[in-house]
Amino acid sequence: MSTARSEFTATGGAGQDEEGYELTSVGGDWDDLAQEAIEHSDERIVVNMGPQHPSTHGVLRLVLELDAETVTDARVGIGYLHTGIEKNMEYRSWTQGVTFCTRMDYLTPLFQEAAYCLAIEKLLGITDQVPERANVIRVLMMELNRIGSHLVCTGTGGMELGATTVMEFGFRERERILRFFEAVTGLRMNHAYIRPGGVIQDVPAEAIRDLRAELPDLRRGIHELELLINEQPILKGRMENVGYLDLTGCMALGVTGPMLRATGYPYDLRKAEPYCGYETYDFEVATWDTSDAYGRLRLRFTEMWESLKIVEQCLDRLEATPGPVMVDDKKIAWPAQLAIGGDGMGNSLEHIREIMGESMESLIHHFKLVTEGFRVPAGQAYQAVESPKGELGCHLVSMGGTRPHRAHFRDPGFNNLQSVAAMCEGAQVAEVIVAVASVDPVLGGVDR
């Protein structure tokens, strides 16, 4: 977001409003700020932090105005990682769109897939037709993804404070989750696993067994992280009363997720507007009451423990709930039958044998479904899920075709980053890094 100013010019002529004033919007950026700093060099200094600063979560740029070490003004510059994902989705089928949105926030891919597919299912009117087992798998994968995202936030946040051991511990525990993701989806990230109507394939029985065996070690590792940092006096000195943003500020800026719940407000979409059957799981909404960076850290640990409770319930349900993982309607259920083989993930050998050598009708159906895709009735839908960073929303508009007319995502990091100025003005330069780390933005999701 660059600085901008508006100029009113009374010139009287065509193209002006009825009062005879012409409004000209003039953008301003680094050159303007630098020139102003030169003119007022005895009063202030402007520091350009980024867009490749090692302590930012992606390609983020901060323009700081300083009075000695005190930040008097902070501007957030985004857009350096813009990939045009939303526009690209308009030129791909509904199913192919999953492979785009999963790449936005690369630490929370399964949440973007879930929001997108739930919105499609609303438009198709098949929300209640999604098999129970598919919903359980979705919840399982999302909660594991939540833990993994929080571990990255905690680990990189520690690294930014100079505690490299915290990052090593955090990434060690996240690796356990990524191994499970790879066993189920064939990939460690950017899975495209959740699809309209369910998920692309069932969780292998051996993967469930391995995850159960891994959970005690995961719990032990998270607890080690807590023992390492929760009451560490240096860390508390760096984080307490830093990045302060109270409930009023959160509500004014549209801030959600851990930042909002760290003010004591227990707003969580899993409870407020349940989806995928979350209303049937036993868990609590974590809150803290300090409204600062330290409170957000502690809250994320509590959320990891609550997610582990949900994961245990999901594993029990998977063992007790056999069945399909995709809707019965074969005009929607694509890809048809995926399996993980020695050379990676693809159509099962049985399905290939059918479409290539046994049934011409199956081959025609597969070809049409893969190349053209299914049609979605005209209309629009909005679906929000509770991602590790806050409310992640997907707004889809269909014109009745085989691809979206418009796909737009509300990434929580985009809204949460608006709070940087409010949290950092009046703080020290070193505290800016702590405040940004507590927001936990991922610029892939912010810029899209």
114-128 pLDDT, tens digit each: 999 999 999 999 889
- H or E segment to which residue 218 belongs: helix 205-229
- Residue 297 to residue 230: CA distance in whole angstroms: 8
pLDDT at 396: 94
pLDDT of residue 200: 87
Q: Residue ranges of the alpha helices (H) in 341-380?
A: 349-353, 360-371
Indicate left, alpha or beta for 302 from its phi (over 0: left) and psi (-120 to 50: alpha): alpha
Average pLDDT value for the chain: 83
Q: What is the pLDDT of residues 285-342, one digit of tens each?
A: 999 999 888 999 999 999 999 999 999 999 999 988 888 888 888 778 865 566 666 6
Angle at 372 between CA 371 and CA 375, to 5 degrees: 150
Whole-number Å distance between alpha carbons of 182 and 166: 24
416 has a pLDDT exceeding 60: yes
How far apart CA 378 and CA 340 sit, in angstroms, is: 35
Instruction: State pLDDT tens for residues 219-277.
Output: 999 999 989 888 888 888 888 888 888 899 899 889 998 999 999 999 999 999 999 99
Paired with 341 in beta bridges are 344
Task: Indicate the CATH number for domain 85-334+373-412.
Answer: 1.10.645.10
356, 348 Cβ separation under 8 angstroms: no
- The CA dihedral of 41, 42, 43, 48, to the nearest 10 degrees, is 30
pTM score, whole prediction: 0.85
Please determine, for residue 23, whether its predicted confidence score (pLDDT) is greater than 60: no
Alpha carbons 294 and 447: distance in angstroms, whole number: 27
DSSP 279: G
Structural domain spans, the chain? 85-334+373-412
Query: Which residues lie closer than 8 Å to 90 by C-beta, 6 or more apart?
Result: 403, 404, 405, 406, 407
Angle CA(126)–CA(128)–CA(130) in degrees, nearest 5? 75
Tell me the CA distances in angstroms from 92 to 117, 307, 371, one per residue in order: 14, 34, 10
Q: What is the pLDDT of residue 15?
A: 41
How crowded is residue 87: how many other Cβ atoms within 10 Å of its Cβ?
Answer: 12
Residue 405 burial by Cβ neighbours in a 10 Å radius (0-12, 13-18, 19+): middle
